[in-house]
């Protein structure tokens, strides 16, 4: 039995998994050209609109609005739907904080719903019980790029008269029943932040098939929106609304994407399909191997999840199959073997400092009841998300899946190596 790398042995893998982002000289040249040209803002230029058209066509939506971040896209989506002030929005407890802060910032109240521990996505069977007379929307997150059960979510939305905003920050190129994620609900929101499968360091996009939501989103994302609304093809010619210079009809903000960012994204988009296919192939191969391993359970893959973008690969760790080796020690041991497992979200959102600071920051943003939070956010509200955060979840990030099949096999080899020495690793951590 070979010695684990954490205890001084040779690692299974000594070269890192593929680096991210992928960039070449032509990308640098394309950005340099825009920078030299001096038209850096979207108004009066065409590049941002061209990228909007390309990405919305790729994902399969009628309209796309590029913005400065994924968090901004979510906030804008909720504003564009004109939901009643203080209304409730159902949010999965297992997601990035932006999903919930966007709700508060749009003057709405997040209500957390537990996830299905087998898929890590919002459990649609829990929607009916979470709906109240004040619920106005559902905000499902396609966590890691694996599709939520959109048939069940849309059905619940129709039955209760709710709008649906998809958080597709992880889901570039991912599909539900062969439809692009982010195009099924009323609005879908993407992030182009540095870790994402399509990235320019920062950025976001809102997709919709609804012309009215698109127009509202334009109005809220840009104080100069009249210029964009007059365009279609002549972006930025106008100023504000026709004939109403310096008269602002909306409580808007500025979230316009700059041109050099759009050009970089357009270059990156040309690589996305091949990368997404590669990740999906490698992810399915790894899951097939993990299914045969005791104590490592990959996510359930429902038939409707026709393509997983593998922004985050998730599996559930059972310490009992590793002689009680705690997850954190397992991760350390695997990292030493060259496999970059991570624990992922440390807390479900209802247990984060913001939602526990009931008299402070939460009260500052609470949109009803005179600023006194009237949703509990208690321990035990979402037991599956609580347990998965604290002891069971393992993440691998998207760049790992740009590797070869051999790279997937090395993950399994490293897991089995650590299992064989689990007793030694447990004892060593007790010293
Ligand atoms: C699920 C989810 N939603 C929203 C966002 C927000 O995106 P951004 O960082 O571009 O604001 C992220 C970013 O990591 C995310 O993971």
Condensed to tens digits (0 to 9), the pLDDT of residues 21-75 reads 999 999 999 999 999 999 999 988 999 999 999 999 999 999 999 999 999 999 9
Per-residue pLDDT for 367 more than 90? yes
Kindly give, in sequence order, each residue whose CB lies less than 8 Å from that of residue 238, ignoring residues fewer than 6 positions away: 226, 227, 229, 230, 231
Residue to mutate (ligand 1; options 71, 104, 397; most atoms within 8 A of CB):
71
Work out which ligand 1 atom sits closest to the CA atom of 73.
Answer: 11
User: What's the pLDDT score for residue 328?
Assistant: 96
- For helices 405-420 and 422-430, the axis angle rounded to 10 degrees is 60
Query: Among residues of the chain, what percentage have pLDDT more than 90?
Result: 90
User: What's the pLDDT score for residue 428?
Assistant: 81
User: What's the pLDDT score for residue 237?
Assistant: 36
Peptide bond into 367 cis (omega under 30): no
At residue 249 the predicted structure's pLDDT band, cuts being 50, 70 and 90, is confident
Rounded distance between C-alpha atoms, residue 112 and residue 322, angstroms: 33
Ligand 1 center from residue 97 Cα (angstroms): 8
List the CATH code of the domain at 25-269. 3.40.640.10
User: What's the pLDDT score for residue 1?
Assistant: 60
Per-residue pLDDT for 117 more than 80? yes
Residue 205, ligand 1, Cβ within 6 A: no
User: What's the pLDDT score for residue 232?
Assistant: 44
User: Which of 59-63, 113-117, 225-229, 319-323 shows the lowest mean pLDDT across its residues?
Assistant: 225-229
Residue 392, ligand 1, Cβ within 6 A: no
Q: Average of pLDDT values for 239-258?
A: 74
Ligand 1 center from residue 84 Cα (angstroms): 24
User: What's the pLDDT score for residue 224?
Assistant: 77
Q: Average of pLDDT values for 226-244?
A: 47
Per-residue pLDDT for 229 more than 90? no
Ligand 1 center from residue 242 Cα (angstroms): 35
User: What's the pLDDT score for residue 44?
Assistant: 83
Residue 69, ligand 1, Cβ within 6 A: yes
Q: Are 322 and 334 in contact (CB under 8 A)?
A: no
Rounded distance between C-alpha atoms, residue 311 and residue 279, angstroms: 9
At residue 235 the predicted structure's pLDDT band, cuts being 50, 70 and 90, is very low
Residue 141, beta-bridge partner list: 167
Work out which ligand 1 atom sits closest to the CA atom of 74.
Answer: 4
Find where tokens 């039955």 sit: 159
Per-residue pLDDT for 13 more than 90? yes
Per-residue pLDDT for 377 more than 60? yes
User: What's the pLDDT score for residue 431?
Assistant: 63
Ligand 1 center from residue 70 Cα (angstroms): 5
pLDDT in tens, 79-93: 999 999 999 999 999
pLDDT in tens, 254-295: 999 999 999 999 999 999 999 999 999 999 999 999 999 999
Residue 71, ligand 1, Cβ within 6 A: yes
At residue 250 the predicted structure's pLDDT band, cuts being 50, 70 and 90, is confident
Full-model pTM: 0.96
Q: Are 174 and 147 in contact (CB under 8 A)?
A: yes
Nearest C-alpha neighbor of 198 from the set 395, 18, 51: 51
Residue to mutate (ligand 1; options 67, 70, 78; most atoms within 8 A of CB):
70
pLDDT in tens, 177-206: 999 999 999 999 999 999 999 999 999 999
At residue 248 the predicted structure's pLDDT band, cuts being 50, 70 and 90, is confident
Q: Average of pLDDT values for 221-243?
A: 55
Residue to mutate (ligand 1; options 193, 204, 314; most atoms within 8 A of CB):
193
Question: Across the chain, what does the average pLDDT equal?
Answer: 94
Mode of pairing for the β-strands spanning 135-138 and 88-92 = parallel
Residue 268, ligand 1, Cβ within 6 A: no
Per-residue pLDDT for 239 more than 60? no
Residue 388, ligand 1, Cβ within 6 A: no
At residue 236 the predicted structure's pLDDT band, cuts being 50, 70 and 90, is very low
Ligand 1 center from residue 188 Cα (angstroms): 13
Residue 70, ligand 1, Cβ within 6 A: yes
Kindly give, in sequence order, each residue whose CB lies less than 8 Å from that of residue 304, ignoring residues fewer than 6 positions away: 147, 149, 150, 151, 176, 177
User: What's the pLDDT score for residue 244?
Assistant: 52
Q: Average of pLDDT values for 73-78?
A: 98
Residue to mutate (ligand 1; options 73, 92, 169, 314; most atoms within 8 A of CB):
169
Per-residue pLDDT for 127 more than 50? yes
Query: Among residues of the chain, what percentage have pLDDT more than 70?
Result: 94
Q: Average of pLDDT values for 2-22?
A: 96
């Amino acid at each position: 039995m070979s010695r684990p790398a954490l205890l001084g042995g040779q690692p299974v893998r000594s070269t890192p998994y593929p680096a991210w982002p992928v960039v070449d000289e032509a990308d640098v040249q394309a950005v340099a050209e825009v920078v030299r040209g001096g038209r850096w803002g979207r108004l009066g230029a065409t590049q941002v609109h061209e990228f909007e058209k390309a990405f919305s066509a790729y994902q399969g939506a009628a309209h796309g609005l590029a913005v400065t971040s994924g968090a901004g896209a979510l906030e804008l989506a909720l504003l564009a739907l004109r939901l009643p002030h203080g209304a409730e929005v159902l949010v999965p407890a297992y997601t990035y904080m932006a999903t919930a802060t966007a709700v508060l910032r749009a003057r709405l109240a997040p209500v957390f719903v537990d996830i299905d521990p087998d898929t890590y996505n919002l459990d649609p069977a829990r929607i009916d019980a979470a709906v109240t007379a004040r619920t106005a929307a559902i905000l499902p997150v396609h966590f890691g790029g694996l599709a939520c059960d959109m048939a069940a979510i849309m059905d619940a939305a129709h039955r209760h008269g709710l709008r649906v905003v998809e958080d597709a920050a992880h889901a570039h190129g991912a599909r539900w029943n062969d439809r692009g994620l982010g195009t099924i609900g009323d609005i879908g929101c993407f992030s182009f932040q540095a870790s994402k499968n399509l990235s320019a360091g920062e950025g976001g996009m809102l997709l919709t098939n609804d012309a009215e939501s698109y127009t509202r989103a334009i109005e809220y994302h840009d104080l100069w929106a009249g210029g964009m609304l007059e365009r279609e093809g002549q972006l930025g010619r106008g100023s504000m609304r026709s004939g109403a210079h310096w008269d602002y009809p909306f409580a808007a903000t500025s979230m316009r994407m700059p041109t050099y960012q759009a050009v970089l994204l357009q270059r990156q988009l040309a690589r996305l399909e091949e990368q997404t296919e590669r990740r999906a192939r490698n992810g399915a191969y790894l899951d097939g191997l993990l299914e045969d391993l005791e104590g490592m359970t990959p996510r359930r893959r429902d038939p409707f999840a026709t393509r997983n973008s593998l922004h985050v690969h998730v599996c559930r760790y059972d310490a009992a199959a590793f002689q009680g080796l705690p997850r954190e020690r397992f991760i350390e041991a695997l990292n030493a073997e060259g496999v970059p497992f991570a624990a992922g979200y440390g807390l479900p959102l209802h247990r984060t400092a913001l939602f526990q600071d009931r008299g402070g920051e939460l009260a500052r943003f609470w949109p009803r009841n005179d600023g006194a939070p009237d949703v509990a956010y208690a321990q035990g509200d979402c037991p599956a998300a609580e347990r998965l955060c604290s002891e069971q979840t393992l993440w691998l990030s998207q760049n790992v899946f740009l590797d070869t099949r051999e790279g997937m096999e090395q993950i399994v080899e490293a897991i089995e190596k650590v299992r064989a020495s689990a007793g030694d690793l447990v004892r060593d951590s007790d010293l």
